[in-house]
Chain A
């Protein structure tokens, strides 16, 4: 639709802006395929990529070339990713997309500055040429020597018996057909169903001039359904997605049933939903998806690149109270949900990073550059969309720990307000701190009771103000592993988030029911 490429587009929207979106069901997708299934080969440092001719010797030579202009650090990131997308529309599984991505990103660092180049050709000549380009970030001259590789091992939190590259489309077709039938069976008003299944086989390798050599195998699956319902001349649409770093077993009866139940329910309730109110009201966030608030209102502001540059609203505030006691926020890469990663894209093992502890700002999210800047260890937060991008600090799964209030108690404390249940996307201006998130549906609260449904309103507020105004924290943390992507610097990475029921202060609601 647009001329300028996506990177330029996001850049033009301002690099201090970050967006999050749940998967648009109507997205036209060009997804990957194996086209290559290399056999394992021998050797002390034999890796998956040996079969592509990129052995330890070639990696060392390429890293050496990266250091040839005096750079302090050089790194090669190899990726082979095969994405399949299979879709159902009008009752038939009649479309599929495949995308194969194979390439190397080469990065050279000199202080805070980055030289970056990538190549889709893994031949020695092409990789050396890319390294030469990245090396130009430094101009000091002199030739650094890469350290001997030491192979790093880590636990595999997301083992898969059969990789997605070996799962035929015949295994996927019946699942989508089931989703379609089950959605339609929920209610005769449901007239159209779009459902799709995305799977990824992704193998990465990180090797650097300090001798790190590490690999990870990162599977991903997403099941999504979206319904259109018609009733009395009105049309409504909504949907639901679930995702995990898992293989075919993820597509269990329970996963299918939950996607179907929520897709149908979220669509049908819109017939009973009125326009959302206009103006400021106290808001109670439902558990789960409203965790988007943490992601937008605070999470991006904690990413260390914005703080290193001094442009985040949270810059220079480590150790300060930024929220009431009881508020503890984590960014957690463990497990096998949407935003989980055993190692980050700089090869650092993941961790549970405590960002806010009992209301006090404890840590930013660091990659190598910011960790070096702040003279601390990386939090394993250096992530990249693919080998075509250099890593930057990113969230993984961001959530707030549960408190002690019951959800009924929280809702009961509000005289008139909004109970916000389902969101589709959000955005934040990092420096000004104003964030938005888009309400698909929620309910009004009157005299402490949940009343009628409302829909389609943007919510906008100030992140620090909303965080400071947290009044009650529910005992019901729910972590969401939907199909969400976070966009920053023109790069998309999968993320998860979570929240217990949470009462915050007044937020401006952009509904249409002006009183």
Chain B
């Protein structure tokens, strides 16, 4: 555990106790990031940052506030505590505000989560980042059809973080990790003034898990070219496949209503659906905080609650809400942790081409644009782009279309999960194949 951060947390907790608060939770963090952006053969942006700060959550006479500062000078921290404790005392009491039961801090996983790659970090020198961005650009520019390229932007970055979390009822834990990411974006000429863009990226906790540089560059070019000449199809009910790397946009609208506040405040179409089927039997989602090398792996959550693998959906049945200590108390339920970590899915048997073959004719959705979902009713509508598919083969690009539905019906049309979990997000979603759903176009 980082010594300096532990000292800051201890100082804040002591300061809170001195001010007669009943409970406090504090965290301190330090993160570093180095990134290089390269555009059309030249350095575009070089960035280095060191971010540090501290937060304190106060429980004062059953009153509650949460406060963050980047001003860690000792005298400023004292003043910060004076002001935030005084402010908290002026709020209305709330019997449900309290620190978690310390029992819930117990039984934490103490092993290696595979999220810290110090060796990888030391290899990410400024020269190495420069080689990476140049290599990706060269690959983008040597891909088939590259003469249509207007501009190529590539980026490489690495980061590390350290954090410590403590509470006055017996918690002092730390985490640290590293992150690596690569990005390439290509703009190409299309008819008229249109200049579609394609991008590709990779993100991982360990350097060796980053995708191949050449592949990232080539993919960005391929994806940009693929969008040329796109247009809307006629409105209609079409089967579709949602590509893995963007499926999180759709899933996010299904996950948000699982949160404690949404449930308790009646802003959730899932509030009365616990242990009921809400999706097809194909749909199983587990939250796995201990996934080795996972982008969101952690033994405890922001309240210090010990995390374990759990089902959120099991064969279409909703198995868990996301309840922090406060909303669990308000709802008269047990806390389940108020967020998700790594989401994992059963592995399907077919890759993306296999899913398209199974679909036959329909739409492959490769991008979402805008849109929203009504958390109270489940109605949603999202802009899409992608490919029109016939006999399992993408035949022409589509854009300026919307996908709409109601989440309580939509997920029942899920027919198949792909064999291609997207490993560059903590939500390791595979491509998803659906039966006929509503698309609007011309």
- Cβ contact of B261, chosen from A26, A428, A512, cutoff 8 A: A26
Is B265 on the interface with A (CB-CB < 8 A)?
yes
Q: How far is the CB of B231 from chain A (nearest CB, A)?
A: 10
A16's closest neighbor in chain B, by CB? B197
Contacts of A432 in B (CB 8 A): 190, 194-197, 227, 230, 399
Q: In this assembly, does B43 line the interface, its C-beta being within 8 Å of a C-beta of chain A?
A: yes
Interface bits B233-267 vs A (CB < 8 Å: 1, else 0):
00101000000000010001001000101100111
What are 15 A-B contacts defined by CB distance under 8 Å?
Answer: A3-B203, A33-B80, A93-B92, A102-B70, A116-B45, A136-B46, A311-B187, A388-B51, A390-B45, A425-B370, A431-B196, A431-B197, A434-B399, A456-B379, A460-B370
A100 touches B71 (CB 8 A): yes
B71 near A434 with CB under 8 A, answer no
Q: Is A117 an interface residue (CB 8 A)?
A: yes
B66 touches A30 (CB 8 A): yes
Q: In this assembly, does B76 line the interface, its C-beta being within 8 Å of a C-beta of chain A?
A: yes
Contacting B at CB under 8 A, from A306-338, are 309-315, 317
What is the total of A-B residue contacts with beta carbons within 8 Å? 339
User: Complex formed: what's the CA distance from A230 to B438 in Å?
Assistant: 28
Q: A235-B377, A460-B400 are in contact. Are A118 and B84 (CB under 8 A)?
A: no
CB pair B372 A424 closer than 8 Å = yes
- By a CB distance below 8 angstroms, the chain B residues around A434 are 369, 383, 385, 399-400
The segment from B147-155, B305-313, B411-419 found at the interface with A is: B147-155
- Contact partner of B441 (CB less than 8 A), chosen from A117, A237, A508, is A508
Is A194 among interface residues, defined by CB-CB distance under 8 A? yes
Interface membership of A4, Cβ < 8 A: yes
Q: How many residues of A contact B (CB 8 A)?
A: 109
Stretch at the interface among A140-148, A165-173, A443-451: A165-173
Q: With an 8 A cutoff between CB atoms, is B212 at the interface?
A: no
Question: Which of A173, A424, A433 has the largest number of chain B CB atoms within 10 A?
Answer: A433
Binary flags per residue of B398-442, CB closer than 8 Å to A gives 1, else 0: 011111111000000000000000001111000000000010111
Known contacts A30-B66, A236-B377, A317-B193; A3/B440 CB under 8 A: no
From residue 100 to 153 of chain B, which have CB atoms closer than 8 A to chain A? 126, 150-151, 153
Q: Tell me the bound Cα distance from A250 to B99 in angstroms.
A: 36
**B391 at interface by CB-CB < 8 Å:** no
1/0 contact trace for B272-305 toward A, CB 8 Å? 0000000000000000000000111000000000
Q: Tell me which of A7-15, A340-348, A412-420, A491-499 binds B.
A: A7-15
On whether the beta carbons of A279 and B442 are closer than 8 Å, the reply is yes
Decide: B255 and A1 in contact? CB cutoff 8 A. Answer: yes
Instruction: Judge whether A462 and B381 touch: CB under 8 Å.
Output: no
Contact between chains at A15 and B71 (CB < 8 Å) = no
Question: CA of A237 to CA of B406 in the docked complex: distance in angstroms?
Answer: 16
Question: When chains A and B are docked, how far (Å) is the Cα of A392 from the Cα of B344?
Answer: 37
Is A183 among interface residues, defined by CB-CB distance under 8 A? Answer: no
Q: Which of B334-392 contact A (CB under 8 A)?
A: 339-340, 342, 369-372, 374-377, 379-383, 385
Partner of A511, one of B87, B372, B381, B385: B381
Task: Please report the C-alpha to C-alpha distance between residue A100 and residue B252 in the assembled complex, in whole angstroms.
Answer: 30
Of the four ranges (under 10, 10 to 19, 20 to 34, 35 or more), the interface on chain B belongs to 35 or more
B52, B259, B266: the one contacting A192 at CB < 8 Å is B266
**Interface residues in chain A, defined as those with a beta carbon under 8 Å from any beta carbon in chain B:** 1-5, 8, 11-12, 14-17, 19, 26, 30-36, 84, 86, 89, 92-103, 111-120, 130, 133-134, 136-137, 168-170, 173, 191-192, 194, 228, 230, 234-237, 275-276, 278-280, 309-315, 317, 388, 390, 424-438, 455-462, 464, 508-512, 514
Bound-state CA distance A182–B67 (Å) is 29
Could you tell me if B193 and A313 are in contact, using CB atoms closer than 8 angstroms?
Answer: yes
Question: Which chain B residues border A279 with CB–CB below 8 Å?
Answer: 235, 440-442
Within the complex, the shortest CB–CB distance from A15 to chain B, in Å, comes to 6
Task: Report B366 CB to chain A, min CB distance, Å.
Answer: 12
Chain A neighbourhood of B39, CB < 8 A: 309
With a cutoff of 8 Å between Cβ atoms, the chain A residues found around residue B262 in the complex are 26
Residues of B within 8 A of A4 (CB): 179, 181, 203, 295, 425-426
Chain A residues closer than 8 Å to B71, beta-carbon distance: 35-36, 100, 102, 120
Complex CA gap A509/B383 in Å reads 10
Assess the B47–A433 pair: CB atoms within 8 A: no
Known contacts A137-B46, A464-B193, A30 near B68 by CB under 8 Å:
yes
Contacts A35-B79, A311-B150 hold; do A15 and B69 have CB atoms under 8 A apart? no
Contact of A95 (CB < 8 Å), options: B42, B64, B193, B201: B64
CB within 8 Å for A457 and B402 given contacts A113-B45, A279-B442: yes
Say yes or no: A425 contacts B46, CB within 8 Å: no
- Residue picked from B46, B80, B377, most chain A C-beta under 10 Å: B46
Q: What residues of chain B lie closer than 8 Å to A2, measured between beta carbons? A: 248, 296, 425-427
Instruction: Name the CB-closest residue of B to A133.
Output: B48
| B4 CB to nearest chain A CB (Å) | 13
Asked whether any CB of chain A lies closer than 8 Å to the CB of B331, the reply is: no
- Which residues of chain A are near B380, meaning CB under 8 Å? 456
Contacts of B426 in A (CB 8 A): 2-4
B404 partner, pick from A26, A33, A464, A512, beta carbons under 8 A: A512
Chain A residues with Cβ under 8 A from B400's Cβ?
434, 460-462, 508
User: Are B382 and A510 within 8 A (Cβ)?
Assistant: yes
Instruction: Return chain B residues, CB-CB under 8 Å to A16.
Output: 185, 187, 197
